[in-house]
Homo-oligomer: A and B are copies of this chain.
Amino acid sequence: MSNSSSNKSQSQTKNNPDSTGHSDQTFDAIIVGAGSAGLAALREVAKRTKRFLIINDGAYGTTCARVGCMPSKLLIEAANAYHRRHTFETFGITGSNALAVDIPAVLRRVRRLRDDFVAGTVSITDELGARSVSGRAQLLSSTQVQVNGQTYSAKGIILAPGSSPILPPAMQALGARVLTTDTLFEQTTLGPRMAVIGMGPLGIEMAQALARLGVAVHGYATKEMLGGMSDPDVNAELRQALERDITLNIGAEASLHAVEGGIEVRSGAHRTVVDQVLVAIGRSPNLQGLGLATLGVPLDKHGLPPVNPKSMQVGDSPVYLAGDAHNDRPLLHEAADEGHIAGLNAMAPTPQCFERRIPLAIVFCDPNAAVVGQGFSALQRQDGLQFVTGSVNFVGQGRARAGQRNQGRLSVYADAASGCLLGAELCAPAGEHLAHLLALAVSQKLSVAQVLGMPFYHPVLEEGLRSALRDAARQLPDAVSSDLAHCGPIGALALD
C-alpha cells in the first residue's frame, strides 16, 4: 500500500451492502493494506474464513514489487553486467570499448519485468471480487473500520498500511528533478549527473548501480557507518568499494537548491550541481488518518501504538499491526512474517506468540554487504558479553582471484566462552550467499566448531568464510581434537 493515488486497478467500491452507508455485515477479519504484510495475513485469513475484507488505498502491487526490492534489483543486475566489462581484458576478452549502455532501454526492462512482478501480486486481490475494496480505511473503534463512507465491523482487524519514502517539503518543492523510489523507475532516462542523499541500503544500491550505468554519482551521508554496518573494518571495506564508483561526501547534512539547469547540492563546504537527486533517507509508516487514537492506547512520538513483536497485537485489542507500518524491521521477509502472525492471530481464539527469526539485512551492492544476527555494535553494547572476532580479507582468496572478485572482508562474532556464533558483518563477494549460510548457523545457535565440521568444497568463496571461522576458532578454547573441524589450512594463501 502507498499514499500514491495512481495505478488504481480496482474500482472505488465493490462492496455496497446497503443504501444507508452502513453495513450489516460483521466480518471475521478486516485487513487494511494489500502489500506484502497484508497479503501474507490474507493467506492465513482466507484459509479459515470467507467472511473477510481486504482494503487497500492507492496503488496495488506491494512496495517490494512496485517500487522496492524488485525494480532495484533489475537495475542492479543490468549495471553489474555492464560493469563486468572492466574484467574482460584481463580475462582475455577483447572489444569491451565498444560496449555502451542504453539507460532508457535499461529502465524499460526494469518497468517491463516490474509490471510482471506487480501483476502477480495484484492478481491475488483481483480474484477476491467484493471482498477486496479500494479506498482509504479509518478505524472507528477496535472492531470497526470505515472506508468510502461505509462502516464495517470485524472480530479482528489487521493493519498493514505500509510506508512511504520520506521527502522533506523543501526538497519536494524543487519538483521533478527530485526523485524517490516512487518516481525513480518511472523516468525515461537518468543523469548524466545525479546525487543520492542517504547511504542506507537503498541509497548505496542505487548510487552504485547508477554509477555503473555511466551516471556521475555523488553520494551523501551524515554518518560514517554506511548501509547498516557497525564493524569499522567492514564499513571501511564497504566505503572503499563504493568510492571506486561514486564520489562520497560524509559528515554534513545535504541541502538542495534549484539552479540554472539543475540542482545544487550543498554539504558542508562542498557544492555540486546535478541533473537529478534521489532522496533515500528512509521511509515513514502510513499512519496518518488511520484512526489509531480510537484504540485508546498511548501512541509514541511517531504515532505508533505499542505492538507486541511476537504476536503483532496492539495492546490488548483485537487489532494487529504488521509490516513496514510497524517500522521495526522494514524488510520484505519480516513483513511477510508479521502478516502471517497477524493473520493467524486475528483468526485465533487467543493470540499466540511466535519466535521471530534472527535478523538478516543485505545490501545488494558489489561486493554485497550484510549483517547477520547480532552486529558488531549490538554485541559491544551488551554488558558482560565477551566475544571474539574472526575475520578474513578476500584480496588473496583463491576463487575470488580466479573470478576477479577479490575484494572485501567478512567478520564473524562468537561467544568467547561457548564458541557459539552470534553474528557477522561482511562486505564480500557472493556476500548475499555467505550471509544466508551464516544465518542458518546463527539461527541454529551453532558453534564455530560445528560450522567448521561441514564440508567446504574447493575452490569456493565459502573457503573465505572458513578462514574467518578458523580465525575465530584460534581465539576460542580448544574443542575435541577428534573433530575434523580442527583440520587447518594447507598454508598456501590462494588455496585456503
Residues of chain A whose beta carbon lies under 8 Å from any beta carbon of chain B: 36, 39-40, 43, 62, 64-65, 69-70, 73-74, 77-78, 81-82, 84, 87-88, 90-109, 113, 116-117, 120-121, 123-124, 331-333, 336-337, 340-341, 344, 352-362, 398-399, 401-404, 430, 432-437, 439-441, 443-444, 446, 450-451, 453-462, 481-484, 487-488, 490-495
Contact = CB atoms under 8 A, between A and B. Distances in A.
Given A88-B99, A444-B450, 10 more contacts: A43-B488, A65-B494, A70-B459, A73-B399, A82-B88, A92-B102, A92-B106, A113-B402, A362-B460, A432-B460
A93 B99 contact: yes
Nearest to A396: B120
Contacts of A446: 440, 444
B102 A332 contact: no
Contact of A92 (B73, B78, B124, B354): B78
Nearest to A65: B495
A43 B488 CA distance: 8
A100 B93 contact: yes
Nearest to A78: B91
A440 B443 contact: no
Closest 10 pairs between A and B when the two form their complex, measured CB to CB: A120-B492, A98-B98, A433-B433, A92-B105, A92-B106, A332-B458, A95-B98, A360-B455, A78-B91, A443-B454
Contacts of A120: 492-495
A95 B344 CA distance: 53
A432 B455 contact: no
Given A43-B490, A457-B360, A99 B98 contact: yes
Contacts of A451: 440
Contacts of A490: 36, 39-40, 43, 121, 124, 336
B117 A398 contact: yes
Given A100-B94, A402-B77, A492-B65, A458 B333 contact: yes
Given A65-B492, A88-B81, A402 B357 contact: no
B78 A93 contact: yes
A300 to B, nearest CB: 26
A495 B121 contact: yes
B433 A484 contact: no
Contacts of A40: 487, 490
Given A105-B92, A121-B492, A444-B446, A74 B36 contact: no
**Residue from A87, A333, A450 with most neighbouring chain B CB atoms (10 Å):** A333
Contacts of A87: 81
A337 B454 CA distance: 12
A182 B5 CA distance: 66
Contacts of A399: 73
A401 B120 CA distance: 14
16 contacts: A65-B492, A77-B91, A82-B88, A92-B105, A93-B99, A93-B100, A94-B100, A96-B99, A117-B494, A333-B457, A336-B490, A360-B455, A430-B430, A430-B433, A440-B441, A444-B444
